[in-house]
Amino acid sequence: MTDEDFQHLVKELQGGNEKVLDQLFIENYEYCVNHLCKEFHSGNHYCSNDDSRDTVMDGFLKLRGELLKGKVENKNLRGYLLIICRNMWLKKVQKERSKLSLDIEKVEYYLGQKEDLYNEDFNPMLKKEIAADLTQQEKLQAETFQAAWQKLGDKCKQLLHAFYIEKIKLKDLQERFNYSSYDTIKSMRRKCYNGLLKWKDKLM
């Protein structure tokens, strides 16, 4: 993009002409989506096609906002958009991993890493050697968490146990539980965990 074309785009956009972004979007959307999928095709920063599309849409909206404010000097808008999208995805993954680590600690703490987790009478947090180190409130929370666990369906129990206790990655669990896509099992993991918390809140 030449200096003249870039200045024209910014001027038109700031004047209220949103259509000048249409061609920019058409030319760069699929490219950026494919780039994110290719760069983060595996590992801890895995980005699915749906995640990539959502991220690029968010990145494009951010680019629009920066153009409107006159903050963009880089005329290589494709490269600039890619940087925005890449940073947004990495920040999102970091945020989710931070939250997930808290989730894991909570599940492990209350459920315990025990093979007899599915035993209805099993309550690891109330065993004498453990109970001695717990406050009354922590004991109550442990009991409630166990009761909430028993309210879950078998599929949710199996999925949460495999993910939190066995430490199996979602991508591997997708094959084990025959889910059609990574996004589907990620959504199910979140749904099951939220269901566990809702039951805990109801039983408190």
Q: Is the pLDDT of residue 29 over 90?
A: yes
40 plus 120 within the same structural domain = no
| CA dihedral of residues 73, 78, 79, 83 (deg, nearest 10) | 90
41 or 82, greater pLDDT:
82
Distance, C-alpha 129 to centroid of its chain: 36
CATH number of the domain encompassing residue 72: 1.10.1740.10
The position carrying tokens 């038109």 is 12
Mean pLDDT, rounded, for 162-179: 85
Q: Is residue 13 part of a domain?
A: yes
Task: Let me know if residue 104 belongs to a domain.
Answer: no
Given 44, 61, 95, the domain boundary residue is: 95
Candidates 21, 19, 14; CA nearest to 69 is: 14
SS3 content of the chain, % helix, strand, coil (to 5): 75, 0, 25
Question: What's the domain count of the chain?
Answer: 2
pTM of the model: 0.53
pLDDT (0 to 100) of residue 53:
93
Q: How far is CA 30 from CA 18, 88, 92, 119, in A?
A: 20, 17, 20, 50
Buried b / exposed e along 126-138 (16+ C-beta atoms within 10 A): eeeeeeeeeeeee
Same domain, 55 and 125: no
Question: Above 60 in pLDDT, residue 118?
Answer: no
Is 107 domain-assigned?
no
Percent of the chain surpassing pLDDT 70: 75
In sign, the C-alpha dihedral spanning 36, 37, 39, 42 is positive
The answer to whether residues 15 and 88 belong to one domain is yes
Contact 101, 164 (CB under 8 A): no
Burial of 202 (0-12, 13-18, 19+ CB in 10 A): exposed
How high is the pLDDT of residue 73? Answer: 80
pLDDT digits (tens, 9 = 90+) for 92-114: 887 776 655 555 555 655 555 43
Residue at 196 is within a domain: yes
End-to-end CA distance of the chain: 61
What is the extent of the structural domain holding 182?
112-203
